Amino acid sequence: MINERIVRESLKKVIEQKSGKDVIALGMISSIIIKGGNVGFALEISGNTQASEELRRSCEQAVKAIPGVGKVTVVATGQKQTVQQKTKLHIEGVKNIIVVASGKGGVGKSTVALNVALSLEKLKHKVALVDADIYGPSIPKMLGTETLKPEIQNGKALPIEKHGLHTISIGYFIDKDRAAIWRGPMITKALYNLLIGTRWSDVEYLIIDTPPGTGDVHLSLMENFNLTGAIIVSTPQGLALIDARKIYDMFTKLSVPVIGIVENMSYFTQNGLETYIFGKDGVKRMSEELGIKLLGRIPLDPQICHASDCGDPSMLSEDLAKFYKDIALETLCSCKILKKP
């Protein structure tokens, strides 16, 4: 089966002569569309030169060489500055950075981020969680730490610790009922303060719960920090998958490895029967089409909602906690692969 991952792997063989890097590493490939055996994609190049045309032809030939591929359409577009041209910032005391994103709000991204982080901690790793949803921070509520304020030591905030998890959130610094009416530059500054202005110590995995969409927070993270990988969260519903595809496209354009995708609120169980409230296997089909790993399917369960509202994630039963543990184990395996030299 031809999917986006196979197409991208094939295009990694195409080298842009001026930089000596492949077109995937340079973020020159976007908008890959696969219909049957036909493949189309955009190639971002500079000017209508002979070298540009040769690069376009090389990309076309590389994809045509994939067994089962028929027609290949390569659309040349104007080139933009790539993130590889920027020097990345280092977060002192942090080894791996994993972002959790959804594209669409209301799909349970924060719940997944929190419980996967807690699962990693239970697996004996030192884990921290950054609530980067500046407009709607929810981690303090979900952890029962709303009333706590971080101590400031030598100009840096000390993260709040709960359940063995070290966390920081804009929710610790502003009134929970006050709206953050901030423009883009203020959002970016707040993000930097949370990441750089916090004293982290020997953190193996820093999980960042991002806001919905593909805005300033995501762009700032991808352009300015070395991200180990990304986890996408979506419900099986078609509307949610549209936005999940957008965040996936953003990750691939900016060369952020996608660890996999989680299908949240996958089904509801009553009297032993599964009801697919938001549709069945939507995320599975998307993962197969894009060639990314389906990390897990988490049911729609009142216990998960109750634990979040009560601020006590330890209330989850062993059966429910296992869903998140399995995702954490898949994430660990992927991170080891991505960190190989």
How much is the average pLDDT of 153-159? 93
pLDDT at 62: 95
pLDDT above 70 as % of the chain: 95
Burial of 182 (0-12, 13-18, 19+ CB in 10 A): middle
Q: N- to C-terminal Cα distance for the chain?
A: 29
> What mean pLDDT is reported for the chain?
89
Task: Confirm if 27 and 255 have CB atoms less than 8 A apart.
Answer: yes
pLDDT at 79: 56
Least confident of 137-151, 154-168, 176-190: 176-190
Q: Which residue has the higher pLDDT, 174 or 260?
A: 260
Task: Among 85-94, 248-257, 260-269, name the most confident range.
Answer: 260-269
Q: Angle at Cα 73 formed by Cα 69 and Cα 78, nearest 5°?
A: 140
Give the integer Cα–Cα distance in Å for 237 and 248: 16
Least confident of 115-119, 183-187, 337-341: 337-341
Residue ranges of the binding site for ATP: 103-110
Give per-residue burial for 188-209: e unless 16+ CB within 10 Å, then b. Answer: bebbeebbeebbbeebbbbbbb
Domain limits of the chain? Answer: 4-84, 94-338
Give the integer Cα–Cα distance in Å for 49 and 150: 56
Q: Which residue has the higher pLDDT, 185 or 251?
A: 251
Q: Tens digits of per-residue pLDDT, 295-304?
A: 999 999 999 9
Is the per-residue pLDDT at 59 higher than 90? yes
CATH 1.10.10.10 corresponds to the domain 94-338: no
CB count in 10 Å sphere of residue 259: 26
Give CA 202 to chain center in angstroms: 22
Least confident of 120-129, 222-231, 308-317, 330-339: 330-339
Residue 42, beta-bridge partner list: 30, 75
Q: Tens digits of per-residue pLDDT, 79-117?
A: 554 444 457 889 999 999 999 999 888 899 999 999 999
How much is the average pLDDT of 172-199? 83
pLDDT at 213: 83
Going by C-beta distance under 8 Å and a sequence separation of 6 or more, which residues neighbour residue 281?
236
pTM above 0.85, yes or no: no
Residue ranges of the binding site: 103-110
pLDDT at 52: 85
Architecture per CATH, 4-84: 2-Layer Sandwich (3.30)
How much is the average pLDDT of 188-202? 92
